[in-house]
A and B are shown apart, each in its own frame.
Chain A
Amino acid sequence: MSRLTEPAGRLEASPLRVAAHNARALGSSVLITNDIGEHAFLTEADYARYLAGRIENGDPLAVGTASAKGLLQKDFIRDQLDFSHQADRTVPRHLLDWKGPNVHTVVVTLRCNFKCLYCHASVVGVEQTDKDMTVETARQVVDLIFSSPNPVLMIEFQGGEPLLNWPVVKFIVQYAKEKNKLHKRALHFALISNFSLLDDEKINFLIAHGVSFCTSLDGPKDLHDKNRVYLGGNSHESVLSGLRKVVARKAAGEKVDTPNAICTITRHSLQRAPEIVDQLVSLGLERIQFGPLDPIGFAKRSWDTIGYTSAEFVKFYADALDYIIELNKKGVKAYEKMALIFMVRILEGGHWRFPNADGVARLAYNHDGSIYTCEEGRLLANEGDEFFKIGHASSSSFTSLLDHPTVRASLLASSSSAQPMCFQCAYNPFCSVLPVYNQGTQGSVFGRMPDNGWCEKMMGLFDVVFTKLQDPEARKILESWLEYKSR
C-alpha cells in the first residue's frame, strides 16, 4: 500500500497558476515541494485556494514576509516562474558542475580485534595479515585517488580495524601529502577506528598530519559492550579512553578536530535514546550521529536478534530528536547529524538529485586493491554479490572506472525522478535513493519503493523533521544547527 498521503478530496489544479509540485498531508497542514527543492506549509483551505488559482500576486501567501519567502519567490506560481533562480538551483542539483569523486574510503585491512554483533565489514581475525593492504597496492590506490579532478579530496581509513595495519596508514598519509605538494588539492584524512590501539605515538602522527578521528560509541557501557565485543579488553573503556585523549589534545590548543562518535542503533538501543544522547554529550561531543542498521551485508545474518522495523527506528529517532532539542532549550550545545543534513537540503536547497552518486562522488578501495562504487558495495561483495565492483587499483584507469556500466546504472537508479512513487513524493527533492540497499534487499539497483525499507525509513524521518519545522521554537533550534555544517 502506498505511503503517500494527500489532502482529502480530488481538487482540479489551475493550469496557469499552479506550478508542478508534490503535496503531502502532514497533520493539519499540507506540505508542498517542487523540483528545485523549495517547500511551503499551507492550510488545507489555502491549498485548495492555491490549486484553484485564486492566490493573486499580491496575496500574503504569494509575497511572503521579510523573514520568509512566499510562493512567488519559491517558484510555485506557474506564470511567474523565475527561470534564473531555477537555473541556479538546477545546475548543482544535477551534478553538472561536479568535479569527480572526492570521498575515497580505503580499507587497509580486514583484520579486527573486535567482534561486533552487526559488523557489516565481515572482518577476519588479527592473525590473518594476508588480509592487509600491501604498500604497493596502497601506492596504486593513492595514485588513482589523485586521478580524480576534484579540488577537494577526502581519504577515509576503514577496516577491519585500520590501526592494525598502521605502517600502511602512515604510508598513505605521507605519500598523499607528498603528491599533493604537486597537485595542490584541499586534502583531508579521517581515521575510522575503535581506538583500542590508539597510543600517543599514533595520536602524535595523526594530529601532526591533520587526520581527523572518528569512532563508534553505542551508548552506556552495558549497551556498548553488548554490541561491540572486544577480544582483548574492555570495549567501552577503550573507546572512551581514545576519545578523551583526543578531546584533551584539542583542549590543550592543538590543531585537531573534535572527534566524531557514531552510535549504531540495534534493537537493544530502541528504548534508550536519552541515555545514549547523555553519554555522548557528557564526553563533550556536540555532534550526535545515529547509524541505523540495514539488513544487508553481514548485519543481515544477525537481523533476527538485533534488527528492527523502519517504524521502530523512526520512533527511536523522534524520541532522540525531541530530547536533543530539549537539551538545546536548556543551553546544551549539541546537534543531530541527520537532522543537520536534512536542514541543509531543505533550507539551503543545495541538494543533489543524485545524493548517492556512487562512483561519481565516492569510491571504495578494498585491501586487495579491488575498487567499488562505495563502501556499502564492498560490503555486499563480501557476502558474494560483486555487482558494485568496478575495477582494480593495479589495472584500472580513473576514466575506466567512470565508464563502467555499474556506475551509469547506479546514477540512473539514484535519480528519484525515475522511480515509481518517488516522483510523486513530496520528499523527493530532499531524499535519496540508495542503489546498494535496493540491490541488497530487493535484487535490483532500482528497487521497489512501495515495500522498500529504506523508503519507509526516510519518509518517516522526513515526517518527523517537517513536523518539527512547523513548531517555531523547534524550527529556530534546527536552523541554528546550520552553523555546524562546515565542521
Chain B
Amino acid sequence: MILDTDVKERSVSFDIPKKIYSMDALRIAAQILAPKVDVYLDETKAAYEVTLKAKRREAGEPQLRSLAGEFGNELLNQEYRFIVGRFNAKISSLIVTQALMAARGGEAPAAAPAGESTPEFQKLVADLVRNAETEVARTMPKKISDQGTVLPPVTEDAGV
C-alpha cells in the first residue's frame, strides 16, 4: 500500500483495489475507525481512493502511517469475515435464532405462577418493601446533591 501523508493536514491517503475489497468492507472499516479518523472516499475505475484525517491534533508522520495500517488491517479483517461468513451464514443464523427461541422458553413460555397475584402474596411483598425502606432510611447516610457534596442537615427554621 503506497501512502501519501500530509502532516500539516493530519491526513494520509492510499488506494484500495476494487478487485479485492468491497464497498461493504470499506464502510465497516470506516465505521470502526470513526472515533480516530474522518474517512473521505473517492473512486476511480479500478480503486477506491481513501483519505484518513486524524482527529488527534498531534498526529505526526508515524501516527498517520499507523492509522493507515490499522485501517488496512480492519479492511482485510472485514473482507475475510465476509468470505468466512458466506460459508455458514444460513446455519449460523438458524442456530442463533434457535438459541434465542430456547432462551425465552420455547414457543409457549410458562406463565408466572398464579400465587403471585393473591392478596396474601401482595401483602407479603409490601411488608418486605416497607421493612427494607425503613432500614434504608435508618442506616444510610444523608442523600447528597449531584455535585457530590453532603447536603446540610434540615433545621427547623429552614424556609419552605
Interface residues of A (CB under 8 A from B): 94-101, 124-130, 132, 134-136, 138-139, 146-147, 149, 166-168, 170-171, 174-175, 178-179, 182-183, 353-354, 357, 360-361, 398-399, 402, 407-408, 411-412, 415, 417-420, 423, 442-444, 446, 448-451
Contact of B96 among A170, A182, A411 (CB under 8 A): A411
A195 to B8, CA, bound (A): 55
A166 to B140, CA, bound (A): 9
- Given A168-B136, A174-B128, A175-B128, A96 and B102 contact (CB-CB distance below 8 Å): yes
A58 to B50, CA, bound (A): 60
Interface residues of B (CB under 8 A from A): 28, 32-33, 35, 73-74, 77, 80-81, 83-85, 88, 92, 95-96, 98-100, 102-105, 109-110, 112-113, 115-116, 121, 124-125, 128-129, 131-133, 135-136, 139-144, 146, 148, 150
Contact of A94 among B32, B95, B121, B142 (CB under 8 A): B95
- Given A135-B133, A417-B88, A446-B81, A402 and B128 contact (CB-CB distance below 8 Å): no
- Which partner residue on chain A sits nearest B89 by CB separation? A418
A101 to B92, CA, bound (A): 21
Contact of A127 among B81, B116, B131, B141 (CB under 8 A): B141
Q: Are B100 and A360 in contact (CB under 8 A)?
A: yes
Q: Are B33 and A402 in contact (CB under 8 A)?
A: no
- Given A183-B113, A418-B84, A95 and B102 contact (CB-CB distance below 8 Å): yes
- Given A418-B81, A420-B84, A357 and B132 contact (CB-CB distance below 8 Å): no
Determine the chain A residues whose CB is within 8 A of the CB of B95 once the complex forms: 94-96, 353, 415
Contact of B132 among A146, A170, A415 (CB under 8 A): A170
- Given A129-B143, A423-B84, A443-B35, A448 and B103 contact (CB-CB distance below 8 Å): no
Q: Are B77 and A420 in contact (CB under 8 A)?
A: yes
Q: Are A127 and B144 in contact (CB under 8 A)?
A: yes
Q: Are A442 and B129 in contact (CB under 8 A)?
A: no
A354 to B103, CA, bound (A): 13
A171 to B128, CA, bound (A): 7
Determine the chain B residues whose CB is within 8 A of the CB of A138 once the complex forms: 132
Q: Are B104 and A399 in contact (CB under 8 A)?
A: yes
Contact of A415 among B92, B100, B148 (CB under 8 A): B92
- Which partner residue on chain B sits nearest A96 by CB separation? B98
- Interface-centre pick from B80, B95, B112, B113 (highest chain A CB count, 10 A): B95
- Given A360-B100, A418-B81, A99 and B35 contact (CB-CB distance below 8 Å): no
Would you list the 9 A-B pairs with minimal beta carbon distance, nearest first?
A: A149-B105, A171-B132, A95-B99, A167-B135, A182-B113, A420-B80, A443-B32, A448-B77, A182-B115
A287 to B19, CA, bound (A): 55
Q: List 12 A-B contacts (CB under 8 A).
A: A124-B148, A126-B141, A128-B144, A129-B141, A130-B144, A146-B112, A149-B103, A178-B128, A182-B115, A444-B28, A446-B81, A449-B77
Determine the chain A residues whose CB is within 8 A of the CB of B129 once the complex forms: 135-136, 139, 171
Q: How far is the CB of B139 from chain A (nearest CB, A)?
A: 6
Q: Are B35 and A95 in contact (CB under 8 A)?
A: no
A167 to B134, CA, bound (A): 9
A175 to B99, CA, bound (A): 30
- Given A125-B148, A167-B136, A418-B92, A182 and B116 contact (CB-CB distance below 8 Å): yes
A398 to B128, CA, bound (A): 24
Q: Are B73 and A451 in contact (CB under 8 A)?
A: yes
Determine the chain B residues whose CB is within 8 A of the CB of A408 once the complex forms: 96, 100
Q: How far is the CB of B110 from chain A (nearest CB, A)?
A: 6
